[in-house]
Amino acid sequence: MDLTGLSATELSDRIAGGAVSVRDVMSAFLDRIEAINPKINAIVSLRPRADLMAEAAAAERSERRGWLHGMPVAVKDLVATKGLRTTYGSPLHADFVPDTDDLVARRLKAAGAILIGKTNTPEWGHGSHSFNPVHGTTLNPYDLGRSAGGSSGGAAAALAARLVPVADGSDMMGSLRNPAAFCNVYGFRPTWGLVPQDAEGDTFLSTLSTEGPMGRSPEDVARLLSVLAGPNAETPFGRPGEDFAAGLDQPLRGKRIGWLADWGGAYALEPGIAGLCEAALAVFETEGAIVEPLAPPFAAEDLWRSWTTLRAMLNAGAKADLASDPAKRAMTKPETLWEIERGLGLSAADVYAASVIRSRWYAAAARLFHRFDALALPAAQVWPFPAEWRWPEAIGGRKMDTYHRWMEVVVPVSLIGLPCLAVPAGFGENGLPMGMQLFGRTGADAAILAMGHAYHRATDWPNRRPPLL
């Protein structure tokens, strides 16, 4: 039996029922990592096999702690992990070993997970291509010459290659949606505040980024979300968690989906992406949903101006020392320095104006959700690109004026913290994967996951394994 090919849900059930041992599971995944990870570089800072097998044996003897009991999980390298090297992809932290766990790691451990290592990420999570000077580049399991996306590229590639059963990701500017699309897996950006922040730095203004679950099925994603969600008493704006897998079996019949395509031409798309997403929407229609094309509901350039202002403001506030300290500056990627310097040049009036745009878009989106159960956009504007690129500098002849403009299609969701599931849309004529964003009103996390679950039952794209498997 290929234990690494089971869904996380099935694997958990088999461990709980005694059909498989934790040691057998750990051994199977470590064997797969040993064989495949050198080719894709998805998992970094892997712990010694002897230590992990000993921990698996201890888990077999202990009382079951939760849904993840005894399951091997690698945590994104932006999450601090006690006793396990955490680099943030930065040479400034190449040898950093934290004394404490961040909240995500704590919650994974509390649910019984065995942390085996980290998943690779861009330096400071900036850019949707997972390369850094500490660990190198993560490659796409479906084409070893191409990017796995980012900043959760290591997580997405590890899932696609069956190196882990589920994975955590984080998402500010599509950081788990873009790699999910590139690697033919699911990534869920929850309603902002559902998975809380750690009580570090600013926790009142920093409302653009969130942690979230990734998996090879919406059911696995929903179960992991139940582990990660719930308030943190030390941070504001918390939302209650729930069993997000309990209500997945809902019909699509009668559900209304608004298709935003390329936002009236505002978002440049490489050829074939829109058509593949429309084919995915046709599956929803076959299952009884009603899909309606939508004109742009808000000015894309206003969204971009608001987004880049607020993002730069937050980066400047949190990371100003990387630019001001000459030694740190010399070891920091230019994209991060650009964010900081742009943020330092902003005025209070600039930030306020950006927040007003954000507020107007939230209200406009809320009105749309009176008519629609979900809205849809492509999850990426380009196909997985050559791994040696820093980022795509043009799309269809349209020059990208920043290092992240090619990811602009994720901004409408990120700016106002809506729940969004990146679903696999299939493969293009080039043989490469692509995905689609399905998003809903604030708090509609369970409903969006249920729609994704029905779609997955009709498609199961992640079951099309990468050639290297």
Q: What is the DSSP string of 6-57?
A: S-HHHHHHHHHHTSS-HHHHHHHHHHHHHHHHHHH--EESPPPHHHHHHHHH
**344 located within any domain:** no
Token pair for 387: 């791994």
Q: How many CB atoms lie within 10 A of CB 137?
A: 17
**324 located within any domain:** no
pLDDT in tens, 3-48: 999 999 999 999 999 999 999 999 999 999 999 999 999 999 999 9
Percent of the chain with pLDDT over 90: 100
**419 located within any domain:** yes
**83 located within any domain:** yes
**281 located within any domain:** yes
Q: How many CB atoms lie within 10 A of CB 314?
A: 21
Q: Which of 249, 228, 250, 219 is nearest to 13 (CA)?
A: 219
Q: For the residues 211-229, what does the mean pLDDT come to?
A: 98
Burial pattern 251-290, b for ≥16 Cβ within 10 A else e, equals ebeebebbbbbbbeeebbbbeebbebbbebbebbeebebe
Residue 136 pLDDT:
98
pLDDT category, 1, cuts 50, 70, 90?
confident
| Rounded CA separation 342/311 (Å) | 10
- Provide CB contacts within 8 A for 269, sequence distance 6+: 262, 378, 381, 382, 395, 396, 409
The yes-or-no answer on residue 206 being catalytic is no
Integer angstrom CA distances of residue 357 from 206, 243, 409: 17, 34, 17
- Provide CB contacts within 8 A for 294, sequence distance 6+: 258, 259, 260, 368, 375
pTM for the whole structure = 0.98
* Residue 425 backbone dihedrals phi, psi, to 5 degrees: -105, 0
pLDDT in tens, 416-437: 999 999 999 999 999 999 999 9
Which CATH number belongs to the domain containing residue 98 in this structure? 3.90.1300.10
**333 located within any domain:** no
**361 located within any domain:** yes
The one catalytic residue in 45, 76, 128, 217 is 76
Q: For the residues 303-313, what does the mean pLDDT come to?
A: 98
| Rounded CA separation 250/242 (Å) | 17
pLDDT in tens, 139-157: 999 999 999 999 999 999 9
At 129, the amino acid letter reads: H
The one catalytic residue in 12, 130, 151, 226 is 151
The yes-or-no answer on residue 130 being catalytic is no
Residue 375 pLDDT:
99
**22 located within any domain:** yes
Average pLDDT value over all residues in the chain: 98
Domain ranges, residue 69: 3-301+353-463
Token pair for 81: 């992990």
pLDDT in tens, 86-129: 999 999 999 999 999 999 999 999 999 999 999 999 999 999 99
Total tally of structural domains belonging to the chain: 1
Judged against a pLDDT cut of 90, whether residue 75 lies above it is answered with yes
pLDDT in tens, 322-355: 999 999 999 999 999 999 999 999 999 999 999 9
Token pair for 121: 């990420």
Residue 425 pLDDT:
98
Q: Would you call the peptide bond into 151 cis, given omega within 30 degrees of 0 as the criterion?
A: yes
Judged against a pLDDT cut of 90, whether residue 197 lies above it is answered with yes
Do residues 260 and 373 lie in contact, with contact meaning Cβ atoms separated by under 8 Å? no
Residue 49 pLDDT:
98
The one catalytic residue in 12, 175, 209, 217 is 175
Burial pattern 340-367, b for ≥16 Cβ within 10 A else e, equals bebbeeeeeebbeebeebbeebeeebee
Token pair for 85: 């090297």
